Chain A
Amino acid sequence: MTTSHPEKRVLRLPQFREFNVLAAFVLLCLFFYLQRPDAFAKPANLAIIMRFIATFGMLAIGEVLVIITGGIDLSVGSLIALIGVIVATLMLKGVGGVTVGMVPAILIGLVIGILVGMWHGFFVTRLRIPPFIITLGTWLIAKGLAAFITRGYPVVYPSESPFLFLGQGTIMAIPVMFIILVVIAAVILFILNYTSLGYRIYAVGGNIEAARLSGVNVDRVRVFCYAVSGFLAALTGIMLASRLGQGTPTVGSAYELWAIAGAVIGGTSLKGGEGTVLGAILGAAIVGVMQNGMVLLNVSSYLQDVILGIVLVVAVVYDTLRRREK
């Protein structure tokens, strides 16, 4: 996206906010690098950071879509665990003794994610249930189901399973997970900025009634966004199961909050109508780098949460003040 792009001026509102987030990210990296020059920039550590970014970035993209339309998706953290467990169970234990191959198992997992998202969309649009409530319901259900299916124990992949490549493999030193994120981000970015669907998504979030009266099928737009969020949660669940080498019901706890935090740090407005893919990824990157950096600095895990919480509050306050100034 160069400035000479003929569409750019029309298609995107100037988003200087992203530069701020980018600057904050670079400064953070610099800070951790100066603190631990020995460890931070090591290829192994960079790979860890990239996997963090891939995880939170993927989820944050889903949240951005949903939040732009004025909703929220709290289910993703548990959905990660449920899909990871389902895919592992299908591949390793099977249903009624019949196991499923890797590709079909992954596809089933992704389809379930999409269906759960559409289910949310149905409740939000047709039954007018607040998104907070319906996705919180799924959060509980998915969490319970994941534990129930596995009776609480992880389903462990054999160490030679090709499935592990997704989460553990690299291509030219770049984790596969990160590459998947880049591809997904490019697709969603394209949809949001260059297609009529993208225009409609922003319109729905900006003023749903005006969008409806402009002939936009607002229900379909919202269902789409929830479906994408469900799909991305499923994809993240599969990647994490692969990275951990197991489908486990305990993975992904509170990840929905990290994802929302990432989106908000990246400039998404919880009031709807505003938010970008780039912002979400950068916000998620800040969350990811901080988590990694604090481990490197031996910050107590309790304090880590405190610091991340403070960062979130500061970022949102800063953004709100800056916006009010205009």
Chain B
Amino acid sequence: MEATTANGLLLQVRGASKAFGGVRALDRVDFEVYPGEVVALLGENGAGKSTLMKILAGVYRPDEGEFYLAGRPYAPRTPHEAQQLGISTIYQEFNLTPNQSAAVNIFLGREPHRGGTLGRLVGFVDRPRMNKEAAQLLARVGARFKPDTLVRHLSVAQQQTVEIAKALAIKAQVIIMDEPTSALGEEEVAVLFDIIRSLKAQGIAVIFITHRLEEVFRVADRIIVLRDGRRVGTLPIAEATPEKIIGLMVGRVLDRSQAHISHARAGEPVLEVRGLTRRGVIHDVSFTVHRGEILGIAGLVGAGRTETARAIFGADPLDAGEILIEGKRVTITSPTEAVRHGLALVPESRQLHGLILISSVARNIALPNLDRLSRRSVVSGRRLRTLVTNYVTRLNIRTPSIVQPVNRLSGGNQQKVVVAKWLASQPKVLILDEPTRGIDVGAKAEVYAIMRNLAEQGIGIIMISSEMPEILAMSDRILVMHEGRVAGILDRAEATQELIMAYASGTLRLQE
């Protein structure tokens, strides 16, 4: 099936360059993939990873460079053409229609027809055949749901398998996955890696991007690292170590020790939550956050962690429960009130809930802080610029200027903008929902440092995270949720990965 060049390459890129205005996103990058190989593409935020992948996917046209797929020149003009030629991409935002079945989505635009020529002309879809073939494709990716399930009834991980099955249906030779694990929980990541291994066994090459280094060692055959739009190295997995990889990514040695000295000085409670209930979503959730404390919230995807955060923040209505801030009962029925009471929430989805994408870095960071930045409603440009520049520097947000629209930033830099806007709001309680999703090691360390710093200043911090190392390293206490309830609360000293998983999966329960 896979024709290759004399040198055995399936995909070869030579000297690819791409500039956006003055920003040189890619600078004469070489890139190569062998048949059935899993390549991890690594690099800091803004290194050019997504740009290179979008060129391969037919989204962007390169300024220069030679491209060969299976020995033939490869120059897709549209994503559709790229798919036809054999390269499919799975983006973080899926391209699925929620109200149609998995099978319909897999065959969208290429439905099998019945009834001969007439049937084809009128578009008479052969549903039984479509469902049967979809079932086969889904089986190849290990999916356990029926092909006629509506997409909106599928979990994020299941939707991802639909996307992969779709790629198989188009007979992809190369499947690109841009940060496929960032929206998944630990167990789902394991499932995805099984799928990737089976794709490999079927001779399909996979290029995947991630900021979680441990994942690289679990599936990749080879690593290619970009830095500032240039390729700085490639390593077969056997020769790679985290230190080497990070050294290549950042160009210097980075202190990765994230463990911190516990700063819980048993301050007085700053946020108390009692009996929080939102029917069908969360039940009787109670906990306390103290001044200067980092409370980690762990749990599987769908355990109600995000819903708990949203309910506290007034984003969703509550059915029961009370909230106390600094010992005083407050009613929070909208985020406006939450902000007024000193709460801040870095939401899970930056594109949907975190950012005004068409708006500038400056305006996004200013938005929750407008009252502080203005006098009698008139915004002070000077104060605004000082504030924004300060955070852009501290979080090392890579942007040509602070008036750059955020949709022109790389994914990780967008995430930093969301974190920045809430850090800037100087809250009493800061809730972070998957705060380091998609940001590189350096920026992670910076976010952790800022969190610790805020905690030391007496701010109470809630950190929801699906990354176990992060939960274990950063939390003073860990609250584990299971099916919308508090399954257990662990102290830093007693917490282990196994214990957390036991609570998260429901095998252990909180004793009354």
Q: Chain A: residues with CB nearer than 8 A to chain B?
A: 6-11, 13-14, 194-200, 202-203, 206-207, 209-217, 273-274
Contacts and interface: CB of A to CB of B under 8 A. Distances in A.
Contacts of B379: 7, 11, 194-196, 198-199
Nearest to B310: A213
Question: Which residue among A6, A198, A214, A216 has the maximum number of chain B CB atoms within 10 Å of its CB?
Answer: A214
A199 B381 contact: no
B159 interface: no
Contact of A212 (B315, B373, B405): B315
Interface of B: 313, 315, 334-336, 338-340, 345, 347, 352-360, 362-363, 366-368, 370-371, 373-374, 377-382, 384-385, 388, 402-403, 405, 421
Contact of B358 (A8, A206, A212, A216): A206
Contact of A209 (B353, B374, B405): B353
B377 A7 contact: no
B352 A209 contact: yes
B368 A214 contact: yes
**SS class of chain A's interface: helix, strand, loop or mixed?**
helix
Contacts of B338: 215
B335 A212 contact: yes
Contacts of B385: 10
Those 3 A-B pairs whose CB atoms lie nearest each other, nearest first: A7-B381, A215-B339, A206-B356
A27 B315 CA distance: 51
B384 A10 contact: yes
A216 B385 CA distance: 21
A206 B360 CA distance: 11
Given A6-B382, A196-B371, A217 B356 contact: no
A198 B356 CA distance: 14
Contacts of A217: 334, 336
A213 B311 CA distance: 12
Contacts of A216: 336, 367
B386 to A, nearest CB: 10
Contact of B377 (A195, A209, A214): A195
B315 A207 contact: no
A195 B358 contact: no
A274 B358 contact: yes
A10 B403 contact: yes
Contact of A213 (B345, B370, B373): B345
A209 B355 CA distance: 9
B374 to A, nearest CB: 5
Given A7-B381, A195-B377, A199-B366, A215 B335 contact: yes
24 contacts: A7-B379, A7-B381, A8-B381, A9-B403, A10-B388, A10-B403, A11-B379, A13-B360, A13-B405, A195-B378, A196-B373, A196-B378, A198-B379, A199-B366, A200-B370, A202-B359, A203-B367, A210-B356, A211-B356, A213-B345, A214-B367, A214-B421, A216-B336, A217-B334
Given A197-B377, A210-B353, A213-B315, 13 more contacts: A6-B382, A7-B381, A9-B381, A13-B405, A195-B374, A202-B356, A203-B356, A203-B359, A211-B367, A212-B334, A213-B354, A214-B368, A215-B340
A273 B370 contact: no
Nearest to A217: B336
